[in-house]
Structures are given as structure tokens and as C-alpha cells.
Amino acid sequence: MIVFIASDYRGVEIKKEVINYLKSNGIDVREIGLPNLEVDEYPDFAFKLGHLVTENKNSMGILICNTGIGMSIAANKVKGIRCVRATSVDDAFTGRSHNDANVLAVGANLGFNLIKEIIDSFISTKGPTIERRINRVNKIIDYENGEYNEL
């Protein structure tokens, strides 16, 4: 599995720690290739990472900004992305197990130790296995593809 990672200028230091942590655990981590500037725009990073995740089957993404809010909003505009903004381990678990999230957005303001726990939960949790949850994810996919028949 490949984990793509990106941050805006507010998350650069945490991103470096996360990359080192994931690599030390044998995970194939790849930065998205956009340079961080003194002040940069989070949507650029979220869009680029989202496209990389959708183009690379079985990959995941991690986005870091100050709060994770902006990144999650932007990432969810990319077709095929289900990004969860997590502030707790439970958010990450539920995002994966209920909603088959393929991108995680976290805020640098959470600190590295909590972010590490959130990432561990996100990466280790499998997607939905209960039929009603799978059906919900499929409705989202159908809607993105213009195939959803509204009630």
C-alpha cells in the first residue's frame, strides 16, 4: 500500500514527523511533489493528493493543515475521494469502517502523539463489511457518477 502525504505551510513540521514514523513502520510513503512556501494554498495540496489516490488503486492519503477542516473540504471535491477529518482515534476508525474513507485530514494543532494514534487507527482499520454501510458508500459513488436515483 502507498500512503500519499501532503501539508500546507501550517503542517510541514508534523508532516516530516509523520513521514519518518510511517517509514519506520515499513510503509511506502510518498510526498505529492508540490513545494511548501512561506504561505501556500491548502486546496492545491488536497486536489493533487486526491487525484494521486484515485489514480493509484489501494492507496490512501494523509493531509495536514492547521485544523484539517479546509483540507477535508477541498479533498472531498475530488471524484472518488472520501476524506474524513479526524480529531480522535474513533473518528479515524469510523471514517474507515463505516464510510470507506480513503483520505485522512488532521490538524497540526492536535500534536504529533495524537496524530500518530489517529493515523494508526486509519491505516489499520478495514473498510465497511456490514451490508448497510457498503450500500451507503455505493450510493455516494453512484451519486458522483450521476447514477443515483433519488428517493
The residues annotated as belonging to the active site are 98
- Per-residue 3-state assignment (H helix, E strand, C coil) for 11-56: HHHHHHHHHHHHHHCCCEEEECCCCCCCCCCHHHHHHHHHHHHHHC
Give the C-alpha distances (Å, rounded to integers) separating 17 from 12, 32, 113: 9, 16, 10
Spatial strand order in the sheet of 2-7: 28-31, 2-7, 60-65, 103-107, 83-85
Alpha-carbon torsion, ordered 113, 119, 120, 123, to 10 deg: -170
Using DSSP, state whether 125 is helix, strand or coil: coil
Contact 18, 115 (CB under 8 A): yes
Contact 140, 127 (CB under 8 A): no
